[in-house]
A and B are shown apart, each in its own frame.
Chain A
Amino acid sequence: DVKVTQSSRYLVKRTGEKVFLECVQDMDHENMFWYRQDPGLGLRLIYFSYDVKMKEKGDIPEGYSVSREKKERFSLILESASTNQTSMYLCASSIPSLADTQYFGPGTRLTVL
C-alpha cells in the first residue's frame, strides 16, 4: 500500500521560529512535492524535487526552503515563520511520468502565533 507520512498533524509555532516539516514516503518514488492549502485557493505548489539533492521552485516558494538528502525524505523549512504562513501543508510523492498520480500524506496544520 502507498504510504506518505508527515511528522506532525498539528503544530503551533511563534513568529520568527525556524520550523521543519518532515515528509517520508515508502514507495521508492523519485518525485516529491510540498503544497500549502488555504480556503478558497486550493492547493498551491511550494517546492518539488525530482531526485535526491535536487529541488525546484513551485508557484509560491518565498519564505520557504527544502532539503532532500535521501530519496524517501523531503523536508520543508520555514527559516523565520510568519503569521501568513499559518496553513495546511501537504506532502506528496509520485513516479516520474506525465501520468504520475501523486499520493498525499495526511497533512500538517501549522499555526504561527
Chain B
Amino acid sequence: AQKVTQAQTEISVVEKEDVTLDCVYETRDTTYYLFWYKQPPSGELVFLIRRNSFDEQNEISGRYSWNFQKSTSSFNFTITASQVVDSAVYFCALSSARQLTFGSGTQLTVLP
C-alpha cells in the first residue's frame, strides 16, 4: 500500500521568510512519480512539479525548489522569500499503478 505523509498541518510565516514543506512517502514500487500541487483559496488544484523515482536531482523554478531524497523517502518543497500570494494548501502526491495517492495537505499562510 502507498502512503504520503505531510506532518505539517498548518504553517504561518511572515512575508519574505523562507519556508519548507515536508513530504514523506511509502511505496514498494521501484518506479513511481512524485508531485506537488497548490490549492489556492479559489479551490482548483494547480500542478507544480513532477519527479520520477530515478531522478534525484534537485530542481529550482524561480522561488520554488524541490529536494528529492530517496534514502529518506522524502520530497520536500521550499519557497524562498515567500509572498502573500503563496498562501494556499499544498499537497504532495505519489503516483504508482496509474493512481495518485495524496497527503493530507499543508495549509501555508504568508502574513504581510
Which A residues contact B (CB, under 8 angstroms)? 9, 31, 33, 40-45, 48, 50, 58, 88, 90, 92, 96, 98-107, 109
Residues on A with C-beta less than 8 A from B96 are: 98
A/B pair count, beta carbons within 8 Å = 55
Task: Indicate which residue in A31, A48, A99, A104 contacts B45 across the interface (CB closer than 8 Å).
Answer: A104
Say which one of B14-22, B60-68, B75-83, B97-105 lies at the interface with A: B97-105
Which B residues contact A (CB, under 8 angstroms)? 4, 9, 31-33, 35, 37, 42-47, 50, 52, 91, 95-100, 102-105
A40 touches B104 (CB 8 A): yes
Task: Indicate which residue in B50, B91, B99, B104 contacts A101 across the interface (CB closer than 8 Å).
Answer: B50
B102 touches A48 (CB 8 A): no
Give CA–CA (A92, B91) in the complex, Å: 15
Give CA–CA (A31, B95) in the complex, Å: 14
Residues on B with C-beta less than 8 A from A33 are: 100
B105 touches A42 (CB 8 A): yes
